[in-house]
Amino acid sequence: MNTTYDPSKESEIYKAWEDSGFFNPDRAPKKPRKAPPRSKPRKISSRGKQKVFSMVLPPPNVTGILHMGHAAMLAIQDILIRYHRMKGDKTLWIPGTDHAAIATQEKVEKEIYKKEGKSRHDLGREEFLRRVEQFAKESHDHIVRQTKRMGASLDWSREAFTLDEARTRAVREAFKRMYGAGLIYRGGRIVNWDPKLQTTVSDDEIEWKEEKASFYYFKYGPFEIGTARPETKFGDKYVVMHPKDGRYAKWKDGQKVELEWINGPITATIIKDGAVDPAFGTGVMTITPWHDATDFEIAERHKLDKEQIIDLRGKLLPIAGEFAGKKITEARPLVVEKLKAKGLLVKTDENYTHRIATSSRGGGTIEPQILTQWFVDVSKKFTLQKPLKGSGLKEIKGINPRNEISLKELMYMAVRSGQITILPKKFNKIYFYWTDNLRDWCISRQIWYGHRIPAWYHESKCIPRQGHEADVAKCKEVIVSDVKPKCEFCNAEFTQDPDTLDTWFSSGLWTFSTLGWPFGKAQGKPFDSAPFDKAQGGHGKPSKDFLMYHPTSVLETGYDILFFWVARMILMSGFLLGDIPFKTVYLHGMVRDAQGRKMSKSLGNIIDPLVMAEKYGADATRLSLIIGAAPGNDMKLSEDRVRGYRNFSTKLWNIARFIRMNEKPEFASLRSRYTAEDKKALVKALSIQKRVERSINTFRFHEGAELLYHYVWHELADKIIEREKKRLQGEHMAHAGTAHALLRELLRISITALHPFMPFVTEAIYQELYASEAKGDLLMIQNW
RNA sequence: GGGCGGUUAGCUCAGCGGCAGAGCACUUCGUUUACACCGAAGGGGUCGCAGGUUCAAAUCCUGCACCGCCCACCA
């Protein structure tokens, strides 16, 4: 043994684990062995009463490489997995990656533009997708290598991808069922349009940025209105005020007013609506329903006309008269100029800051637009799926399967009922608040990379087939299908919706699309030939994996995707299975740099976990991400910290080396000679192990890790070993043997308890000191 | 505007009713059956501020200040 632990061997250790097959719970020994095995591990013939522990890995985006946040996630989850595996539970951890639709597409688009100066439209859909897939594959391979390097004991035989065949079947089945239940609808609604990426984005993908702007007050007939966006005011013909605003009491709802506006005289209508804040500006505003969410809602309430002012490229439409074709940013000062010339500008407030919506993906300014999109209706009532007998599906507490419920209520109840526990607790309130205020989820995206929406549109020209001349009116306009449908009555073709689905639609299915769902006919067949499950609402025969591992035990992820992902998984499994996707949600904090900033490429403050692992070992990297990070709190990471834990690896290694150096051939039988002090030391070690166990069970990993760090360094090394040196070098060989036996046993307890935290060094030590010749004798599967 | 969290040693953070803790940094000493990526000894704190509850408060309650985050339709 060398004086320092050599982390470059970690890849070999990982390979030994992987080759053993024990990452796969079907191949892992049912009960970990206490004694070295004499023969090959027993195969499990029946489920028996073995406890099950299952998790899915939150699939990293195939947009590049893993960062420290991923490393922290892998470390925490691997602790849970290794602990449960050593406890003897049937333990499954499913790996996978996320196609991350918009994020990946954008990344590749940028790259192609940079290298070749071409846009995706220049390449065409097919060629562009080929490029994205190529990129995604390379990215995937890199991510898998990194994940293994961190020691994550995932069952690679079950690896999944949110855009592979099996998951595509799941997505289409889910879409079809939700459409069938009326929970997915297509409609004209106000959406967040990103003129830069030419796609809609969801509410959650918006980043608000403060911007300084001028705030103008204009004369609008007898009123004065304030606005920061005069260039949108061309179509404004409604003037809105609060119904209880005394200043405007003489104006009646619906009353008409003739007035002079940007491009000439118009007739405006008075509208009274509570959404207006009397204290803001003049308490009067005009509305632009096509380009503002609040205005849209007011218009909906009062059934007002809506007119489009700005096109999808961000340019003004003919309604703007002389300004048509101009970009909105160009038009703004010109419009102000014109209104001023007409004497309608009252005053300008230069010190006005407002928040503008930008896309968190492309950074472009969001321009709300009314567009025909696909939505998930979160408020529509439906009857909850009734779990089939013997299917392993459980009812969601507090919801009678025969009662009607909305997705919103379902998401709320699954957590409120206590069936799903969110840790740390503080996130419960945030979750409830979110579900309470949830609006319909826009799921269509105008991008190419992703799950194509399985909806087909009837071409407008109907050429009735013979004998069906009278049926043309019955032709279905939209058919949801995974294959190209044919019209019953005419020869018209169907064309598929060009849009793709929001990436979270597919990741929402992750906990069960990775376990063999959809069941029945669709399972295992290429999706082109597999019809959607006809028995709408039927479950089919559940897969073995599903029965065994669903709902998953724990969902561990960053708090930043509580809404994006966690909530959507609850929604999806609630509707499609009538079940919860997981029992406990544990949310970890973000990893930040030493100054507390987010790690990002532009700041150049990214600490690459792979570099850390090469330099200091994966174990040290893992420990640095665990210790000092309280549940749900952000943590600051610096290389110093990692270095500190590398020293601990070395310390542990040297303890092992010292014990090996003092091997006494006769140690084996000397247990009975333990003194009272020896026994006390053993009891202490075991009690530490118990406390570590408790820390893992309560998701307080930093406590367990710190406890072990302390015990090993300042108790085992500094006190016990120093003390035992006397006995070891004494004349009395038997006493020396006893001392050695004690140290050996204490170290074994220590590395066992430490294994989930630092799998590599502990395995290396186990192989040096404890393993038998038998193949597959690994610390990884020793009894905890 | 609403909500949540933070404020503890020089730095990074645990602790969340019972004698103020860890890691890093710092000071002094040390070529000991492993380890200098080490050991021994040590310095360093009105636990943000002001009240309150309690035998006892960093910990519970109230208010305030500053910092951070999340949510929201102020045109």
Taking only the tens place, the pLDDT of each residue in A267-325 is 999 999 888 888 788 889 999 999 998 899 889 888 899 999 999 998 999 999 999 99
Share of chain A above pLDDT 70, in %: 91
Banded model confidence at residue A600, pLDDT cuts 50, 70, 90:
low
Q: Mean pLDDT over residues A508-526, rounded?
A: 80
Element (H, E) at A404: strand A404-405
State which residue has its Cα closest to the C1' atom of B15: A703
State which residue has its Cα closest to the C1' atom of B6: A633
What pLDDT, in 10s, does the model give residues A471-493?
878 888 899 988 888 888 888 88
> Distance (Å) from CA A716 to C1' B10?
30
**Count of residues making up chain A:** 784
Which residue's structure tokens are 């989930």? A756
Contact A566, A555 (CB under 8 A): yes
Name the nucleotide with the smallest C1'–CA separation from A648. B37
Name the nucleotide with the smallest C1'–CA separation from A232. B75
Counting Cα atoms < 13 Å in the Cβ hemisphere of A315 gives 9
Q: Mean pLDDT over residues A694-718, rounded?
A: 93
Name the nucleotide with the smallest C1'–CA separation from A206. B71
> Distance (Å) from CA A707 to C1' B15?
13
Name the nucleotide with the smallest C1'–CA separation from A729. B33
Quick one: pLDDT at residue A39? 45
The DSSP secondary-structure symbol of A279 reads T
Q: CA–CA separation, A525 vs A510, rounded Å?
A: 19
Banded model confidence at residue A45, pLDDT cuts 50, 70, 90:
very low
Long-range contacts for A39-43 (Cβ within 8 Å, ≥24 apart)?
A39/A774, A40/A775, A40/A776, A41/A776
pLDDT at A38 over 50: no
What pLDDT, in 10s, does the model give residues A618-669?
999 999 999 878 888 888 888 888 898 999 999 999 999 999 998 876 655 5
Quick one: pLDDT at residue A47? 44
Name the nucleotide with the smallest C1'–CA separation from A293. B73
Least confident of A227-236, A256-265, A338-347, A527-536: A527-536
> Distance (Å) from CA A611 to C1' B10?
29
Q: Mean pLDDT over residues A212-227, rounded?
A: 89
State which residue has its Cα closest to the C1' atom of B73: A294
The bases of strand B with some atom under 7 A from any protein CB are: 3-6, 12-16, 22-24, 33-40, 70-75
What pLDDT, in 10s, does the model give residues A425-472?
888 888 998 898 888 898 999 899 999 999 999 887 777 888 888 787
Cite the beta strand spans of A440-532 per DSSP E: 441-442, 444-445, 455-458, 478-480, 494-496, 500-501
Q: Encoding tokens for residue A282?
A: 């003049």
Quick one: pLDDT at residue A37? 44
Phi first, then psi: what are they for A750, rounded to 5°?
A: -65, -50
- Using DSSP's 3-state secondary structure scheme, residue A40 falls into coil
> Distance (Å) from CA A634 to C1' B62?
29
Q: Mean pLDDT over residues A399-412, rounded?
A: 83
Phi first, then psi: what are they for A426, rounded to 5°?
A: -55, -20
Quick one: pLDDT at residue A781? 93
> Distance (Å) from CA A627 to C1' B42?
26
Chain-wide mean pLDDT for chain A? 87
The residues that bridge with A408 in the sheet, in sequence order, are: none
Q: CA–CA separation, A298 vs A240, rounded Å?
A: 9
Contact A190, A296 (CB under 8 A): yes
Phi first, then psi: what are they for A421, rounded to 5°?
A: -105, 125
Quick one: pLDDT at residue A43? 41
Element (H, E) at A285: strand A284-286
> Distance (Å) from CA A597 to C1' B67?
14
Q: Mean pLDDT over residues A196-215, rounded?
A: 79
> Distance (Å) from CA A250 to C1' B48?
54
pLDDT at A606 over 90: no
Quick one: pLDDT at residue A737? 87
Quick one: pLDDT at residue A667? 55
Q: CA–CA separation, A423 vs A559, rounded Å?
A: 10
Q: Mean pLDDT over residues A744-749, rounded?
A: 95
Contact A221, A416 (CB under 8 A): no
Quick one: pLDDT at residue A709? 94
Closest-CA residue to A748 (of A697, A722, A784): A784
State which residue has its Cα closest to the C1' atom of B69: A634
> Distance (Å) from CA A700 to C1' B58?
21
Quick one: pLDDT at residue A601? 65
- Using DSSP's 3-state secondary structure scheme, residue A209 falls into strand
What pLDDT, in 10s, does the model give residues A545-565?
999 999 999 999 999 898 889
Quick one: pLDDT at residue A668? 58
> Distance (Å) from CA A328 to C1' B64?
46
Name the nucleotide with the smallest C1'–CA separation from A652. B35
Q: Mean pLDDT over residues A235-247, rounded?
A: 88
pLDDT at A779 over 60: yes
Q: CA–CA separation, A748 vs A753, rounded Å?
A: 9
Quick one: pLDDT at residue A717? 94
Name the nucleotide with the smallest C1'–CA separation from A294. B73
Q: Mean pLDDT over residues A337-347, rounded?
A: 93
